Structure 1
Amino acid sequence: MEPHCLRLVIFVLAIVSVRLLQNPVVASTEECDFPAIFNFGDSNSDTGGLSAAFGQAGPPHGESYFHAPAGRYCDGRLVVDFIAESLGLPYLNAYLDAVGSKFTHGANFATAERIFQELLPKPEYFSRALYTFDIGQNDLTAGYFLNMSTDEVRAYVPDVLAQFKDIIKYIYGQGGRSFWIHNTGPVGCLPYVLDRLKITAAQVDKAGCAAPFNEVAQYFNRRLKEAVVQLRKDLPLAAITYVDVYSAKYSLISRANKHGFKESLRACCGHGGKYNYNMHVGCGGKIKVHGKEVLVGKACEDPSAWINWDGVHYTQAANKWVFDQIVGGSFSDPPIPLKLACHRH
């Protein structure tokens, strides 16, 4: 099986094929001056790729911040948006959404199927840019939804990570030096996984999550960290930060009330069932009643009190909480803040 999201990432990397300036990194406490962000990942960090390809994610997506759909499968901002904000950069445009978009401060390749090479940043920005990666969730769940066992999904993790290492090496070969890499979150805590995949009562952990799927996610993360360690040896000029997003997200879900949230496992925006998730009628979904369309995939009254937005993705409030935990470096290896991520340690 060729994992979907990394296959797409490999394809879009063609745009970084210009020769970039070499910019050695050294240990320092001076804040980095990132002129651009290039993000690669799945729909957790997609700022419009899927919407550009298949039509806008309709209301109520975007309602909490943009007050209208903004290409994100969320009520507002994503973690990558908060990363851009903290670095003083504008929100990223999805590369598929090329018409009317500017990419002078970076681009988002999450979920992109094809690219349009125009309005690119200055060539020297590529070498000084921050390259962010948020991968794993789609790679793992795609296998489960093809009726693969946890052992079968675990077996193809090395292939996924081999592709990932090739991508990092390619960017490095073109001059990229600063990499901020998120591991995958606790997929066994997502409503769409809990609703669609069978588990026994004995497989449910104290937080209400599906332990077998989280165990595979943790296996993925261990292997990802090993890959990062090897990449540091292979790429001596690279500053590669591994960010343990899994631990931050699991802490949030397992201690939701402590962190100011009231709902941890149910979707804010959805329809029916134990987890307010229905694969046939999603967030913003409508059904026909007596020949008329009726909106049933409604958002909850207060998304800021919910962790999950639509069964798959997190709410803006949860994304902000996760960002606040990871930005300072306490979940990172090496333990450096985002603003120092251009320096080797």
Structure 2
Amino acid sequence: MEHRGLLLVLVAAACLSGGAHARHAKKSYGAVFSFGDSLSDAGNLIVDGIPKSLTTARRAYFMSFEAHGKDFKKGANFAITGATALEYSFFKAHGIDQRIWNTGSINTQIGWLQKMKPSLCKSEKECRDYFSKSLFVVGEFGGNDYNAPLFSGVAFSEVKTYVPLVAKAIANGVEKLIELGATDLLVPGILPIGCFPLYLTLYNSSKKSDYNARTGCLRRYNRLAFHHNRELKQQLDALQKKYPKTKIMYGDYFKAAMQFVVSPGKFGFSTALQACCGAGGTGAYNFNLKKKCGEAGASVCSNPSAYVSWDGIHMTEAAYRMVANGWLNGPYASPPIMK
């Protein structure tokens, strides 16, 4: 797939013991377990069939690669498209559950791991030892927790009040994994949504002050993402102090994506704010809600590696590759996975 699961594949290839990258690395793992949403989903959503209303389950999302396998001893990917940090009940109580079309929250996904646990290890001691030698990639979570209310028309001021709740839900999930025996956990923040072609199109403004003059991104949506990431880092710092024997790493999507936007050419990109797969070249950001990637009328650029954005809300393989390398070796993880 062009965007989903690619980053996990790159991280896993470098981390799993016995791999070419691992032999030269300072750190290696026996298994990699991933949790998250569409940024990591490599097929969980379509296990029971392709949802008719979901464009991201159609071509051209499968143009690059697909992987298959049933051996989970070296890890598993529990991520599912649309997943949230908060529970479905939260969104239902706020009247925005129509924007939440699966219940694969962080807690649900950790529950899936617990169900799988007997097939991975036998005794509690064996399980703790096994998990202590594994890498846990917990997220990205949070993006859909904000997408759902924003796309439902909830006031921006109210959505901002969700931030502490979302960050705490992620931290609670991380703590559950630590209690299961996880010691090395990478926890990504969210991307600068104000730079997404989708957001730039939906919330297009005639006010210059709504945009950052340097980047062309929408200020307040990036401030929301920054606020979330700052809150999440504070939660992770508290957990690190509570569990000093763990290695809790913050994965910085925001910094990476902003560098792509500020200096696309430096990273080999020709454009950062236009989607590769989208509205056939129309509009400032090549995004049209009536011609989304995977729908009739949409087309795919001839050189995806020159784009940062794949479909207006997810990045391309080329962009994820740089993020993955930054998580493994720096500077996009604190501390980097391999150090």
- Same fold by TM (over 0.5)? yes
Letter in 1 for 2:78: F
Alpha-carbon displacement from aligned partner over 1:102-161 (angstroms, at most 9, x marks no partner): 322111122263759569434443232111122222222222112123321211111112
Pairwise mapping of residues 10-159 of structure 1 onto structure 2 (< 5 A)? 31-53=26-48, 55=50, 57-63=57-63, 65-66=64-65, 70=66, 101-111=70-80, 113=104, 115=112, 117=115, 120-122=119-121, 123=127, 124-133=129-138, 134-159=140-165
The whole-number CA distance in structure 2 between the counterparts of 1:259 and 1:103 is 35
Where relative contact order (Cα < 8 A, 6+ residues apart) is larger, the structure is: 1
SS in 1 for 2:264: coil
CA contact (8 A) 2:194 2:200 kept: yes
Alpha-carbon displacement from aligned partner over 1:68-103 (angstroms, at most 9, x marks no partner): xx3xxxxxxxxxxxxxxxxxxxx7x7xxxxxx6332
Which residue pairs with 2:264 in the alignment?
Answer: 256
Letter in 2 for 1:127: S
Correspondence 1:274 to 2:322 = no
Q: Which structure 2 residue ranges, 5 or more long, are not aligned? A: 1-24, 51-55, 84-103, 122-126
Deviates more, 1:179-188 or 1:50-59: 50-59
Alpha-carbon displacement from aligned partner over 1:19-63 (angstroms, at most 9, x marks no partner): xxxxxxxxxxx8333111111122112111223355182222232
The whole-number CA distance in structure 1 between the counterparts of 2:204 and 2:148 is 15
Correspondence 1:234 to 2:242 = yes
Pairwise mapping of residues 296-311 of structure 1 onto structure 2 (< 5 A)? 296-311=297-312
* TM score, norm. by length of structure 1: 0.72
Alpha-carbon displacement from aligned partner over 1:154-176 (angstroms, at most 9, x marks no partner): 11111112211211111111111
Distance change >3 Å, CA 149–CA 108, structure 1 → 2: same
Alpha-carbon displacement from aligned partner over 1:273-327 (angstroms, at most 9, x marks no partner): 33222223321212xxxxxxxxx22210111111111111111111112223332
The whole-number CA distance in structure 2 between the counterparts of 1:253 and 1:138 is 22
Correspondence 1:265 to 2:273 = yes
User: Among the aligned pairs, what percent are the same residue?
Assistant: 32
CA contact (8 A) 2:171 2:232 kept: no
Give the RMSD, CA atoms, in angstroms: 2.4
SS in 2 for 1:43: coil
SS in 1 for 2:47: helix
How many residues end up aligned between the 2 structures? 270
Match of 2:188 among 169, 182, 191: 182
SS in 1 for 2:61: coil
The whole-number CA distance in structure 1 between the counterparts of 2:267 and 2:338 is 25
Letter in 2 for 1:311: G
Letter in 2 for 1:143: P
SS in 2 for 1:310: coil
The whole-number CA distance in structure 1 between the counterparts of 2:283 and 2:48 is 30
CA contact (8 A) 1:140 1:217 kept: no
Shift of 1:264: 1.0
Alpha-carbon displacement from aligned partner over 1:251-286 (angstroms, at most 9, x marks no partner): 011211232211211110112433222223321212
